[in-house]
Amino acid sequence: MKKFVYSAIALSMATGVSYANNGWTSLDQEISGLSSSLTAQNAGGPKVGGWIITSVASQKAATTSNLDTIGDLSDPADGDFNDADEDGDDDGFDAADEGENDNLGFKLNQVRLHITGDLSNDYSYKISFDLNTDDGAVLQDAYARWKFMDGVNFTMGRFRNATLTSSLREENTQMFLDRTIAGSLFDNRDEGFMVSGNFSMLNYWVAVQNGNDGTEDDLDISVRVAADVMGKGAGSVEGAYGAAEGTNLTVGAFMIDMGAGRSDMGTLANLTVDGEEASISGTADAHFGLDAYFTMGTISVAGEYVSATTTTGTDLEVDGDDTTVYALTASWMFTEMYEGAIRYQSLDAEALEGTLITVGVNRYSAGHNLKWTLQYTTEDSTYTYEGDERDVNSEDEIAVGLTVAF
């Protein structure tokens, strides 16, 4: 009798367990199906984001010649120079232009809007616009990316050159209000095709783009290789805030060959020599560069170096010379919300030389998505003509900036 009862109880328990297992399995399947459905819906939907960077700055500049230096060294393409030599000695300098200028005003540094999305696990896209222009919305990025296989991605459309990390990072993730000089040189987009990816600690980018001659036969070819030597390497932000935990080090190198040449450096100077106009344009045929990023807890250190083979204006005895640019940056988070930083930069274009030193503090209210920046910048530059070196510009600026990203 007891044996029969025990057998009945055992059979009942087994039936209950079987029913429970079937119930849980069915529930798991429903949850899995719901998750897949939500993933599919989310994958196809575009995501809208962007940022606004605005600032107020007080600037004091002392110009000692008709050369207005390279404008803002952090953005060489903004060079704005005065008229020709007017003091009669044909040395390219106009003594009458000596003096000091004090400026105070507000600036809308940047307004960006981007749309990103995933069409599946393998396909994604990005479209971005610069809204802070006199011509309305100007297209920046417009590309589609295909994950061909693990470690290999194909990108086609309009995208940045494969060069420095500081050029590839978005503006709202920067430590200071401006990119480095070298980073500004390569903050370019162009139409083309790129293969990129990573294998273990090695990351690579190989891009072929139209270049300065558009769709003609000369192409720009850029190659970048970076190794995460320690930890997870350099992230998508500049400085210590938001960096990966532990000790991280990324070392990279790039080379870009511009088939048709391009004025990436902008016009560095315009002047008149012996009645003839001449310029230092910085039109580059090839660039080579190195960069390294290191973070350890609350400390970050970064360095970058660029060498360019350039063709410059005639009559200035600098044709075919190399232009070199380098930057050293260090930062320290002294509280959870505050990070201080210092940066030293140098540009050597043979006849034209300049240094730029920036110190500043960031206050993070919501990381890089909402931050205040207080920075002080001092700039000095000289120009040498036929052995005669002149101070071209001395500039000091204090700026307060606000970054809001969404």
Highest mean pLDDT among 104-108, 220-224, 245-249, 329-333: 329-333
Q: Please check whether residues 15 and 104 belong to one and the same domain.
A: no
Which distant-in-sequence residues (6+ apart) come within 8 Å of 221 by Cβ? 207, 208, 256, 257, 259
Give the distance, in angstroms, between the CA of residue 221 and the centroid of all CA atoms in the same chain.
Answer: 19
Residues 119-125: contacts with CB within 8 Å, 24+ apart? 119/43, 119/44, 120/43, 121/43, 121/147, 122/146, 122/147, 122/148, 123/147
According to the model, what pLDDT value does residue 342 have? 98
Q: Please check whether residues 40 and 143 belong to one and the same domain.
A: no
- Fill in the DSSP letter of residue 243: P
The answer on pLDDT for 19 being more than 90 is no
Residue 311, token pair as written in the block:
């063709």
Q: Please check whether residues 343 and 236 belong to one and the same domain.
A: yes
Can you tell me the mean pLDDT for 137-149? 96
According to the model, what pLDDT value does residue 45 have? 82
Q: Please check whether residues 130 and 215 belong to one and the same domain.
A: yes
Confidence tier at 21 by pLDDT (50, 70, 90) = very low
The answer on pLDDT for 8 being more than 50 is no
Higher pLDDT, 190 or 42: 190
Helix, strand, coil percentages for the chain (3-state, nearest 5): 15, 55, 30
H or E element: which one contains 168?
A: helix 165-168
Q: Please check whether residues 311 and 396 belong to one and the same domain.
A: yes
Q: Please check whether residues 128 and 146 belong to one and the same domain.
A: yes
- Its domain, for residue 32, covers 1-44
The answer on pLDDT for 181 being more than 70 is yes
Q: Please check whether residues 125 and 31 belong to one and the same domain.
A: no
If one counts the domains in the chain, the total is 2
Confidence tier at 334 by pLDDT (50, 70, 90) = very high
Cα–Cα distance between 39 and 249 in angstroms, integer? 34
Q: Please check whether residues 146 and 262 belong to one and the same domain.
A: yes
User: How many CB atoms are located within 10 Å of the residue 218 CB?
Assistant: 14
User: How many CB atoms are located within 10 Å of the residue 118 CB?
Assistant: 17
| Ramachandran bin of 86, using left for φ above 0, alpha for ψ from -120 to 50, beta for the remaining angles | alpha
- Do the beta carbons of residue 99 and residue 63 sit within 8 Å? yes
The CATH number given to whatever domain includes residue 303 is 2.40.160.10
Q: Please check whether residues 5 and 90 belong to one and the same domain.
A: no
* Paired strand residues for 248: 295
Residue 41, token pair as written in the block:
């819906």
Q: Please check whether residues 150 and 253 belong to one and the same domain.
A: yes
